[in-house]
Structures are given as C-alpha cells and as structure tokens.
Structure 1
C-alpha cells in the first residue's frame, strides 16, 4: 500500500485533517498498518476477495464498538472505515507492543502483566455467547487437528529446535491431546505479546481483534503460557473470575495450545525473517518441552 494511497483515504474520510507524516506500523498475515501523524493507525486488510474484505472490515468495526463496552482495557476505537478498500482507522493507543520489550524484562514482568490480562479474560469469557456470536464466528477445530498440524509444522522446523528438546517434542506429537469438554466462550483468540501494549509495565490496551471467535477459553491462556511462561499463567488465573471451566483442565489445554503455537510461531519467524518470533519460540521450549 503506497503512502500516497494512505494519505488519500485519510483525507477523504477525515475532511480537514492534515496529514503530515505516514510511517509503516507493521504488517502481518492479515493486515498492513500505517501510523499517521503519530496518532492515527490506518490498517488495510490483505484479503484479496473484495466482498469478503468488505465484510471483514464491517464486522470488525462492529465488534470493536461492542468490545470497548466489555473490557477494562483500551481497544482500538474506529475513527472511520473504508470497507470497500479494506481499511479501518483508529486512534493510536499509548504504549509499546510487549514483543518489543527485551526478552529478559518481558519474562521478569510477565506475571504482573498477566494479572491484568486475567481481568480482561474474565470480561471477555463472561460476555453473552449469543450476543457475541452475531459478531464473530465459531472456531471449534478439534484438538487432534491442532496436533496434526503441529506435527506437519515441526517437520519443517526440526533442524532449528535445540537437540535437548527434540525427543520431548516428538513425544508430544505422538500423544493424544487433552479431552475437549469445554463450554465455548467469546475469546480474543490471538492474545500473543505482539498484541498487548504496555507502558512502564502497565497494560495500556489490547489490539488486533480480527481473530476473535467463539472458542475454547484455554486458547487465550495458551498464548500467555507460550509467550510469558507458567508463572504468568498462574498470575492470570488468580485474577480470572469467569465460570468458564475447571482451572486444572483449562491449564492442561492451555499448555497443549501453547506447545502447538510455539512451533507455529517458530515457523512463522523463520519463513518471514522476523527473528523476534523465532527467538521467543525457542526460549519458550524451555518450559514447554523441558
């Protein structure tokens, strides 16, 4: 997306707004984002199908408006949408993505951050499922499929896994997953450290709700376990008040998702050259496959 197109869409939808600077603000599998004037995030969907792209943007804008009334943390509040262009613009939330914090500091302060995220998950997982199902889809992929996909991923990244962990990874991929038996809830569904914003270790907001779904509540805890470790998940559970699941079985599934997710993130980092993702995944092997 050229800078000139970003300027055009902003001036078209915010008459009188003067665009003085446009800088890249990140890109992922689903979106490309730009920061305008240091205060506005303008994001474009990479979905190639125009009809689906329009639907995704419209649904996400509606979702964000609803989530803003549920969560104790800041979420992106749309300033405008240009659904046909796959564009969603919102005010920049203060803070830096937790993935940008040096790893040693991130892990040391992980439990403190996770206490706040436990409160967030209480709000999300307690939301009326019927209401949220009108805004997001169900994501009920069987756990066996998660394991099988992780096995396929591992075949492509095994050489990058330190030898000390390879036997444990192989054993995990041969083991039956935990029993499902959960009540689906509204989830962020991608609560990795790249989507958590912090300032002086206070959580200032959570971004990127494009994967939000009605799903297993352990999905959200799995990302915390993968990226911040078991102490952080213990801290999140202490502030978690939703009656979504038995805590022991919730954590069992969270560990399962974390193990699958670490292999996925390792592959993503290696394929894209984003070393922050591959580095944090290798670090996580210590508590995931010790």
Structure 2
C-alpha cells in the first residue's frame, strides 16, 4: 500500500502525495480555478490534471529532478531561464495575479509589513530599513506578462538540461517579468547569470535584487505565522542579511 506523504500543510491549503499522485486541498476554490486554467494556457510543461472534486485537485507527478531548495545546493541551469522566456511570450491571461500591480499600493503594503516586522520584534530595524531601501527599485511601472507568480526553485523540474515540469500555478496571472526571475534565484543568487543566459534578454539586475528583498520582507511574518522557518540557513532572513 502506498504511504501518504504530507508535502506541505498550513491554514490555507495542504498538499499530499500518494505514489505518483498529488492531492491539493484548498478551501479557496478561486485559487484552484486559477491553477487549472493557468496550466492549460502555459506553453511550458505542467502537471497533468487527473481529476477535480472540490476542495481537492489531483495532479500527476512530473518527471525529472527538482532544481533545488532554499538552503541546499541547486542545479539551476539556462534551461530554466529559457522556459520563463517562453512563458512570457505567451498571450496574457485575462486575470491579474494576486500581488498588487500598482507600485504605490505595493509600497504601502511593504511599509506596513516593515513596521510590523520591527514592532513585533521579528527583525532588527537596521536590517529592515536597509532592505526597504533596496526594495524600492522594484516599485516602478512594468509591462505585464504571463507570470507564474510563485516560481520558487522547488517548483521547477529538470532532466537532461530540459525543463520537464513547473508546478504550483495558483498565483499565476499578469505580473512583472523580473519577479519570476527573482523568485527562481532567491537564495541562489550565484545562479542568476545562468538563468539570465537562458532567458536570452538582458535584465536590470538591481530590480531583481530589489525583488529578493521585497519578497523576503513580505514573506517573513507569513512564514512564521504558518509554521515555517524563514531563519533557516539560506532562507529569507539570510537573503535579507546578505543585502547589508
């Protein structure tokens, strides 16, 4: 009998694995709607949807090896950048991503989060202040593209230097191209050149560095409140510390 593995679980959703099947349980069916629709539109390899019975979505495991995880060695290659470029060349989805699109609104959200990080004693003020300064470069207008929205390094699988699957599309939508590139290289900054080489277009690296800080600042408190450890080696707090 196959064992049930809890891949991830928190108050918002849970993912279980039974053999080669992943079961995603989400109380917010809008997120699942986005995931299914985004996978059907994306011009890159995605998991096969096996069945759906709300609140559960069943998908097949993708072949290949995960690129890496925060705090561990990674195998990020130019193929990952090439896959991102292919996604960005696809027609825009008809919905926006869950992240704020207006720079002023995003700045207000970031400022509020920075204040909470210091007030709640999660991070020292000088660390937050420095990274808020760095993050400012991301707060500009951009031309929307079809973004994954949560392109963490452990959401991309590779085999023979080709991408075999990209998972977890619930935050897909119209967004900033450099956000996905920053998400993929978060905590693996040494692979940024490889990713950009595969992407095939020169980018503003200061904006990618800004997204590293911005994403980490917005993520620390959420991670703590949902039972994760942003202080683990190579994780969000280490990313923020590296900007000092």
TM-score, structure 1 as length reference: 0.69
Match of 1:15 in 2: none
Deviations 1:17-71 (A, max 9, x none): xx754332222564311212x1111112122xxxxx2x5434432321232xx11
Give 5+ residue unaligned stretches, structure 1: 1-18, 48-52
Match of 1:7 in 2: none
- Following superposition, the deviation at residue 185 of structure 1 comes to 0.4
- Following superposition, the deviation at residue 223 of structure 1 comes to 1.2
Deviations 1:159-213 (A, max 9, x none): 343x5xx435314536893362421100001112342346799865321000001
State which structure, 1 or 2, has the greater radius of gyration over its C-alpha atoms: 1
- Following superposition, the deviation at residue 89 of structure 1 comes to 0.7
Q: Is the 8 A contact 2:148 2:169 kept in 1?
A: yes
CA distance in 2, matches of 1:199, 1:145: 40
Alignment of 1:200-279 (within 5 A): 204-229=164-189, 231-241=190-200, 247-248=203-204, 251-275=205-229, 277-279=230-232
- Following superposition, the deviation at residue 224 of structure 1 comes to 2.9
Provide the aligned C-alpha RMSD in A.
Answer: 3.0
Is it true that 1:90 corresponds to 2:59 in the alignment?
yes
TM-score, structure 2 as length reference: 0.81
Q: Is the 8 A contact 2:134 2:209 kept in 1?
A: no
Deviations 1:217-244 (A, max 9, x none): 1111221343322x322221111136xx
CA distance in 2, matches of 1:182, 1:115: 24
Larger helix fraction of residues: 1
- Following superposition, the deviation at residue 137 of structure 1 comes to 2.7
Match of 1:35 in 2: 17
The verdict on how the C-alpha distance between 1:236 and 1:260 changes in structure 2, with shifts beyond 3 A counting, is: same
Alignment of 1:142-181 (within 5 A): 142-158=102-118, 159-161=121-123, 166-167=125-126, 169-173=128-132, 177-178=136-137, 180-181=140-141
Q: Is the 8 A contact 1:42 1:88 kept in 2?
A: yes
How many residues align structurally?
237
Q: Is the 8 A contact 2:83 2:163 kept in 1?
A: no
CA distance in 2, matches of 1:127, 1:274: 34
